[in-house]
Structure 1
Amino acid sequence: MSDSANAGELIALALKRSGVSHLFTLNGGHIWPILTGAAEHGIRIIDVRHEQSAAFAAEGWAKVTRECGVAAVTAGPGVTNSVSALAQAQAGDSPIFLIGGRAPEARWGMGSLQEMDHVAVVQSLTKKAVTLGSAEQAYPLAADSIRTSLSRRTGPVFMDVPLDVFFGSDDIPEATEHLIADHGPLPDPDAIAQAARLIREAERPAVMAGGGVWWAHAEEDLKRLVEVAHLPLNVNGMARGVLPPGHPLFFPRARGPALGEADLILVIGVPLDFRLNWGQSPVFADGARLVFLDVDDLRKHKVPDVAIYGDLKASLAALAAAAETPERTEWLAHLREAEAAARARDTAMTGSDSSPVHPARLIAEVNRYGDPDAIYVGDGGDFVSFAGRLIERPKPGLWIDPGPFGCLGSGPAYAMAAKLAHPDRQVILLSGDGAFGFSAMEFDTMVRHRIPVVCVVGNNGIWALEKHPMESMLGMSVAADLAPRTRYDKVVEALGGYGEMVERPDEIRPALDRAFASRLPACINVICDPKAEYPRSSVLM
């Protein structure tokens, strides 16, 4: 190796030394130096068909590994095409590092190809957004960007590099630093004691936990807290799987009474956003005491009785050590009764033999098919709402979806990242037919790079998340229909994958067998009932 390198190679070296193994990209002249540098240093390059998929794949990598996912995109439209992924990563606290090309500094303002001020566009969507000013700063700034993405509230970081700076050179630094993320301050012992006292005094406590637990590597600490204090648990986002299905303290179907009747709610690593009705009644009980545990106070719209902000893993461990409480038999029995009743109400949907297929029956079949360590990826509206309701995973990290930002088209990129990170596992992409249209060409990416993801399309020929509410609220629907029975399976076949159309419930499992046996990227295109409406309770506006 030479004693010096251009800025692109220095950035690639910083990535490599920070543990980055994959770079998601779409080729563009403004980023050639980082592509060649990545190739030279053994970082696997996955080139996609649209820049949004490069950035979404970086986020998917982050979601399944809890490492910083990295993407590189060309200047101008390459960066603007990635903005939705930055916004989604910010909303979901996903640590990604997006590197953009940039017009040459020497001709800045003269109208170079794809010249624009990217930083001004993305700074509200990132933890940090900077322009690299010199080759001397390439290595330290890239390393610091990785560290920043993984510190405190994890999230996206952006750096663009002018073309002439990319080709500047500097000495190669020695590998003397180690990546150490900052997880925030340790908890205040007095606040821990106060929270533990509230837990012991509560008659009807409940826990609502979210993705912050996953990013803090705190799932075992939360599990211990819940078990020693006998606290009923509900989760959303990346916290799914903290408790396995059937655990006596897990109440995914009794969230209404658990939160709506509680006298104490612990809000752990989750924002009070639309999914929780902003912490208001009827989702949260009026008058319930509140304990917040999180890395910071982002989107905590109510005044808590106790707030513990900082290192979430350390906070949960400390609280678990202080909060041992006897089981509240009557409260838990009440919730178990509500849980059982809610599950019983779903049997008509999940057991339906109708053709076209009821989406709940399709989800139930796919759920039964997957291995215990299979990774499910959701990409859609109502179809993924059914999946989120019915699919329960034994561990966290086995379900990923767009999260509260809800950007359709992220699924193929998430799925390919999940399969690259865990090539020995099944990866099943659950896609609505509307969502499928956003990123269908990424099946070409999967074919070229031999990434055998199996996609199950719930094809009901409508934008169900819009059509059903419009009809119930307005008495009509506008711009809410797609072509019926579109052969999305043939699209995947044409790109070199495996495709099959399914019209009856008894055809689903054999089709999945054939799809996995093909060892190709695959599409099982299931014709679903457009009249089947998801029984929604959350406000989606």
Structure 2
Amino acid sequence: MRGADLLVKTLAAAGVTRIFSLSGNQIMPVYDACFDAGIEIIHTRHEAAAVFMAEAYAQLTGTVGVAMVTAGAGAANALGPLFTASESETPVLLLTGDSPLGQDGRGAFQELDQVPMTTPVTKLSFRPTRAADFGTDTARALRAALSGRSGPVHMALPFDLVDADATGGEIPSALGKEPMPLSDADVQTITQAIAKTKRPLVLCGPAMNDTRNPGKLAALQDALGAPVIAMESPRGLKDPALGDVGKALAQADLIVTLGKRIDFTLGFGGTNVVDAACDWITVQPCPNERDRAHRNLGTRLQACFPADPRDSIEALTAAGQGGHDTWREQVAINLTARSFKEGDTVPSGKITPAQLCAAVQRQLDKAERSVMICDGGEFGQWAQAATKADLRVTNGISGAIGGGLCYGIGAKAAHPDATVFALMGDGTVGFHFAEFETAARAGLPYIVVIGNDERWNAEHQIQLRDYGPDRLIGCELSGARYDAAAKGLGAHGEYVTDLAELDAALDRAVQSGKPACVNVQIEGLPAPSGTAH
């Protein structure tokens, strides 16, 4: 048994059935081992795409998403999406090929000290030193990805160990998440504090969102009698999908954070966004994030519990004391407030982002099961604010764009029977456009809708606001026919400039049975705003 076989058998024992990968010399023994283990390899066109696909797959399956790339530049290309997965608190295992251990320091092919490179953007990054340890090393990585504040991990696989004899190596039985629940006494402390206040709020981090915890947040809100809000946008209190959430924070007298970092998305908890008399309680498994909470909140932090809130949702729900009905209704109105309507028009007569999103929503409403991917700057914000599906993946708190096309592939692999829509701008779609070919080759049909305003609109809006219309530079894009290019890669293509033709084009895209690119010319408007803007 080779090291590669021990690695793959351990992954299979943990329930891994597919890996997103771009091939290379140093990982070919692992490919060979996947053949015997029956693990599917979805072969991508870029290393970063493999990590993005694994991120979406993990969020939508509740498992560790596995990406595998080769050494040297292959590992370097995969680095950026690790930051995105870290910020979205997504358990991803990145396996990278590496030069042989026995050739360290001798100038081996693609020799690169990878661990220091990935350490800042992972929970755990290491390079095994014995082939027989691949089982225990892989189990360690999987546990780290899933436990506490979940996130990406990295294993660099020396080529001589991958191919070496691993006889005697063991596959551990402890391959899953290590629970970190609140104590019963701490549960009571939190629920009683909520019951005693007039205007409590519960704020959840990305790992606590509805997609990853279906139905649990609604049950928790009903039980506690406190509004429960998941936050996963870098725009924080200006997230268009949360309407006038800033009003709710300004009025709250107690804020309980469940895995939500006290960071820039909350204005660092400052008294300019939250009443100075408001008390805070935080539940956070990560010691660094608990330190951050103390640093930003000071004496307003009444309690800080070292626990994973995902392991205590049921206990908090069972101990809830209800109440606060009027407050909950008021916050619900805040959250659903929108500054736009589908019927709004623009002087140019172009399709507006709201009209495009409304048309996509009609498609989602017809689907038995739906997944929405939202990615991009301004148009991505419109998509988040104006659409709703059974499950959702966004480009997350990192603020990075470009993974949306890859997220769609990961989503369709996770839920092959669902209708998957990926909404993005014309800037975003260009990052990994070649993955249309991956989707076609892998038989993963989903619909990419491009809100095409022929510019990098987020930065265009900054220039307009800060420098004026006479100082616009470097943010224009062309009228490229992305739909035609996607056809060349095996996808279905639609080009839409007239609102009257939009519904029919979307119908054809859904019914095509292929990956589809619907390229829609829109008016480039700023993202919808709430009172926090």
Say yes or no: TM over 0.5: yes
Shift of 1:206: 2.0
Give the aligned partner of residue 503 of structure 1: 497
Aligned partner (choices 57, 63, 77) of residue 61 of structure 1: 57
Shift of 1:178: 4.7
Seen in structure 2, the aligned counterparts of structure 1 residues 324 and 438 have a Cα distance that, compared at 3 Å, is same
Contact 2:353–2:451 (CA under 8 A) maintained in structure 1: yes
Aligned partner (choices 260, 281, 284) of residue 270 of structure 1: 260
Give the aligned partner of residue 241 of structure 1: none
Answer yes or no: is 1:442 the counterpart of 2:442. no
SS of equivalent residue, structure 1 residue 53 = helix
Answer yes or no: is 1:31 the counterpart of 2:27. yes
When the two structures are aligned, how many residues end up with a matched partner? Answer: 515
Sequence identity percentage:
30
Aligned partner (choices 46, 66, 71) of residue 75 of structure 1: 71
Give the aligned partner of residue 491 of structure 1: 485
Q: Distance in 2 between the 1:179 and 1:453 partners? A: 32
Shift of 1:526: 0.2
Aligned partner (choices 151, 173, 189) of residue 155 of structure 1: 151
Seen in structure 2, the aligned counterparts of structure 1 residues 310 and 498 have a Cα distance that, compared at 3 Å, is same
Deviations 1:172-227 (A, max 9, x none): 6576725332122x323443333223212211222222323249965544333311
Q: Distance in 1 between the 2:285 and 2:350 partners? A: 46
Deviations 1:368-417 (A, max 9, x none): 211262111122110111111122345xxx11012111222211221101
SS of equivalent residue, structure 1 residue 403 = coil
Seen in structure 2, the aligned counterparts of structure 1 residues 350 and 59 have a Cα distance that, compared at 3 Å, is farther
Give the aligned partner of residue 424 of structure 1: 417
| Residue identity matched to 1:477 | L
Shift of 1:19: 0.5
Seen in structure 2, the aligned counterparts of structure 1 residues 423 and 129 have a Cα distance that, compared at 3 Å, is same
Aligned partner (choices 111, 132, 135) of residue 136 of structure 1: 132
Deviations 1:329-388 (A, max 9, x none): 3x3454455556x34x42166677963211121112112211262111122110111111
SS of equivalent residue, structure 2 residue 422 = strand
Give the aligned partner of residue 237 of structure 2: none
TM-score normalised by structure 2 residue count: 0.90
Give the aligned partner of residue 457 of structure 1: 450
Give the aligned partner of residue 196 of structure 1: 191
Q: Distance in 2 between the 1:282 and 1:391 partners? A: 31
Seen in structure 2, the aligned counterparts of structure 1 residues 259 and 440 have a Cα distance that, compared at 3 Å, is same
| Residue identity matched to 2:416 | P
Seen in structure 2, the aligned counterparts of structure 1 residues 255 and 162 have a Cα distance that, compared at 3 Å, is same
Q: Distance in 2 between the 1:188 and 1:59 partners? A: 31
Seen in structure 2, the aligned counterparts of structure 1 residues 498 and 10 have a Cα distance that, compared at 3 Å, is same
RMSD over aligned CA atoms reads 2.5
Q: Distance in 1 between the 2:437 and 2:255 partners? A: 47
| Residue identity matched to 1:10 | L
SS of equivalent residue, structure 1 residue 169 = coil
| Residue identity matched to 2:380 | V
Contact 2:135–2:171 (CA under 8 A) maintained in structure 1: no
Seen in structure 2, the aligned counterparts of structure 1 residues 141 and 175 have a Cα distance that, compared at 3 Å, is closer
Seen in structure 2, the aligned counterparts of structure 1 residues 22 and 143 have a Cα distance that, compared at 3 Å, is same
Give the aligned partner of residue 270 of structure 2: 280
Deviations 1:481-502 (A, max 9, x none): 111x210001101111111110
Q: Distance in 1 between the 2:119 and 2:171 partners? A: 30
Contact 2:136–2:172 (CA under 8 A) maintained in structure 1: no
Q: Distance in 1 between the 2:297 and 2:280 partners? A: 9
Aligned partner (choices 492, 509, 522) of residue 528 of structure 1: 522
Seen in structure 2, the aligned counterparts of structure 1 residues 206 and 87 have a Cα distance that, compared at 3 Å, is same
Seen in structure 2, the aligned counterparts of structure 1 residues 72 and 538 have a Cα distance that, compared at 3 Å, is farther
Give the aligned partner of residue 247 of structure 1: none
| Residue identity matched to 2:476 | D
| Residue identity matched to 1:529 | E
Contact 1:379–1:432 (CA under 8 A) maintained in structure 2: yes
Seen in structure 2, the aligned counterparts of structure 1 residues 171 and 28 have a Cα distance that, compared at 3 Å, is same
Q: Distance in 1 between the 2:111 and 2:464 partners? A: 45
Q: Distance in 1 between the 2:331 and 2:530 partners? A: 19
Shift of 1:467: 0.7
Give the aligned partner of residue 248 of structure 1: none
Deviation beyond 6 Å, 4+ runs, structure 1? 351-354, 537-540
Aligned partner (choices 66, 87, 91) of residue 87 of structure 2: 91
Seen in structure 2, the aligned counterparts of structure 1 residues 378 and 339 have a Cα distance that, compared at 3 Å, is closer
Q: Distance in 2 between the 1:215 and 1:456 partners? A: 23
Give the aligned partner of residue 228 of structure 2: 233
| Residue identity matched to 1:92 | S
Shift of 1:254: 3.6
Contact 2:209–2:230 (CA under 8 A) maintained in structure 1: no
TM-score normalised by structure 1 residue count: 0.89
Answer yes or no: is 1:315 the counterpart of 2:312. yes
Give the aligned partner of residue 242 of structure 1: none
Q: Distance in 2 between the 1:378 and 1:535 partners? A: 15
Seen in structure 2, the aligned counterparts of structure 1 residues 443 and 338 have a Cα distance that, compared at 3 Å, is closer
- 5 Å-filtered alignment, 1:302-341, equals 302-303=297-298, 304-329=301-326, 331-335=327-331, 338=334
Q: Distance in 2 between the 1:525 and 1:100 partners? A: 35
